[in-house]
Amino acid sequence: MNDRQRWQAAMMDNYGTPGLTLVRGEGAYVWDVDGNRYLDLVTGLAVNALGHAHPAVVAAVTAQIGTLAHTSNLYINQPSLDLAERLLDLAGVDGDGRVLFCNSGAEANETAFKLSRRTGRTKVVATDGGFHGRTMGALTLTGQPAKRTPFEPLVPGVSHVPFGDVAALEAAIDDETAAFFVEPIQGEQGVVVPPEGYLQAAREITARHGALLVLDEVQTGVGRLGSWFGFQQVGIVPDVVTLAKGLGGGLPLGACLAFGPAKDLFGPGQHGTTFGGNAVCCAAGLAVLDTIAADGLLEHTAAVGKEIAAGVEALGHPLISGVRGAGLLLGITLREAVSAKAAAAAQRAGYLVNPVQPDVLRLAPPLILDEADAHRLVADLPSLLTEES
């Protein structure tokens, strides 16, 4: 049996059978089982800033796992303390925050969802098209009917409003609303950017009604937009931020950060998970944040992202209608539903790109993507869009 057949026999078909077996990664590149090399513009969503096998992450994880991997939640481990303090520092909240670590983005949002119940309110608002994970609570927040419907009934009390619509938000949020969950940019929906002023309006409306503003930065956080957090690009401070994906440098690490009064909402015994904040994943997280800072990767991300966007626009390709997003979270929008075909052609040409919507190609490379690779991708794009398979 080949890997595909083995996969089909042994794995639940939750994402559909993948077509490629990857065996090695280094920097922005991965290799498949047949020795083919690909520029990885996909798994940056998971490994984020530093790409594959970054020496800083390898060293931090190796040192920590050989020293103390896990303390259980009954004891303090120092990497988790260091990482919590660092995240609060980067968020710029002057120590007025607390962190709860977990293992994934869905779990970080479950944490925020439960935290919001501690306000004594049960109404929650989220956005159409938003994606917050696949566990039952996170799925309830997710505004994509095809993902939700097979699993109903979901958690009561949650409604959805059109993303980017301030009037709809104003109408939906009242003094009984516990929280509004929103992504700064909707990643899974196809890198959808809200109109200017939307997040600021969300901040004002939620504050006026005493509701928590929860920003899901699982995709946009940890440098991906060219700033530590997405909220820093729009000059607001939410009550709660959720992180995962890039935070652990490829290891499973999620975090729920709460600022101001929200930071004190959980009491002892009210939430937790065995592996949340384990020393090895937190050591990886610290290495990620250290390296982003030391290597100037925020500035690099902003600059390379702009170059790709400008380069793609300058192609003037008849199939490309535009580029949206920020930093290295980019959606190339197409005039026809050909993204799957283009992604397949890209793979044959040595690029892994994500056909996130039928008419949107998503690029989410590691933040270390260098300019030469970025230019090569842009130059090859026209042939990938028109190649016949």
Q: Is 105 in the site for ligand PMP (CB under 6 A)?
A: yes
Exactly one of 137, 143, 187, 285 binds ligand PMP (CB under 6 A); which one? 187
Q: Which of 294, 378, 371, 377 is nearest to 55 (CA)?
A: 294
Given candidates 218, 256, 297, 320, which one binds ligand PMP under the rule CB under 6 A? 218
Distance in Å from the first CA to the final CA of the chain: 26
Query: Could you say which of 43, 77, 80, 104 contacts ligand PMP (CB under 6 A)?
Result: 104
Q: Which residues pair with 38 in a beta bridge?
A: 30
Identity of the residue, 164 or 187, whose beta carbon is nearer to ligand PMP in the bound complex = 187
Give the span between the Cα atoms of 360 and 372, in whole angstroms: 24
Candidates 47-55, 67-75, 126-134, 305-313 — which segment interacts with ligand PMP by CB under 6 A? 126-134
Give the interface size with ligand PMP as a residue count (CB under 6 A): 14
* Nearest C-alpha neighbor of 348 from the set 14, 39, 27: 39
How is 156-185 classified by DSSP, letter by letter? TTEEEE-TT-HHHHHHH--TTEEEEEE-SS
Show which residues are catalytic: 131, 216, 245
Distance CA 247, CA 267 (A): 26
Cis-peptide into 153, omega within 30 deg: yes
Residue in the shown chain whose Cβ atom is closest to ligand PMP: 105
Q: How far apart are CA 236 and CA 249, in angstroms?
A: 26
Find out whether 121 is annotated in a ligand binding site.
Answer: no
Does 216 appear as a known binding residue?
Answer: yes
**Does residue 203 interact with ligand PMP by CB under 6 A?**
no
Minimum distance between the CB of residue 260 and ligand PMP, rounded to whole angstroms?
22
CA distance linking residue 143 with residue 191, whole number of Å: 15
Rounded to whole angstroms, what are the CA distances from 272 to 100, 257, 265, 365?
8, 14, 14, 32
Q: Is 86 annotated as a binding-site member?
A: no
Taking CB under 6 A as the binding criterion, the range among 1-9, 143-151, 181-189, 352-360 that sits at the site for ligand PMP is: 181-189
Q: Which of 183, 239, 359, 373 binds ligand PMP (CB under 6 A)?
A: 183
Minimum distance from CB of 214 to ligand PMP (Å)? Answer: 11
- All residues at 6 or more sequence positions from 318 whose CB lies less than 8 Å from its CB, including other chains: 335
Token pair belonging to 213: 């503003």
Q: Which is nearer to ligand PMP, 104 or 278 (CB)?
A: 104
106 annotated binding-site participant: yes
Cα–Cα distance for residue pair 111/95, rounded to 1 Å: 20
Are 287 and 279 in contact by the 8 Å Cβ rule? The answer is no
Examine residue 110 and tell whether it contacts ligand PMP (CB under 6 A): no
* Structural tokens at position 206: 């939620």
Shortest distance in whole angstroms from residue 50 CB to ligand PMP: 18
Q: Please say which residue, 43 or 385, places its beta carbon nearer to ligand PMP.
A: 43
- For tokens 């608002």, what's the residue? 125
C-beta closer to ligand PMP: residue 42 or 287:
42
51 near ligand PMP (CB under 6 A) = no
Q: Which two tokens stand for residue 187?
A: 């990643």
105 is in an annotated binding site: yes
Contact status: 133 vs ligand PMP (CB under 6 A): yes
Site for ligand PMP in 239-278 (CB under 6 A): 244
Q: Report the alpha-carbon distance of residue 16 to residue 202 in Å, rounded.
A: 36
Judged by CB, which is closer to ligand PMP: 353, or 378? Answer: 353
Show the tokens assigned to 266.
């959980």
Which positions make up the binding site? 105-106, 131, 134, 216-219, 273-274
Which positions make up the binding site for pyridoxal 5'-phosphate? 105-106, 131, 216-219, 274
Q: Which residues in this chain contact ligand PMP in the complex, by CB under 6 A?
A: 104-106, 109, 131-133, 183, 187-188, 216, 218-219, 244
Which positions make up the binding site for N(2)-acetyl-L-ornithine? 134, 273
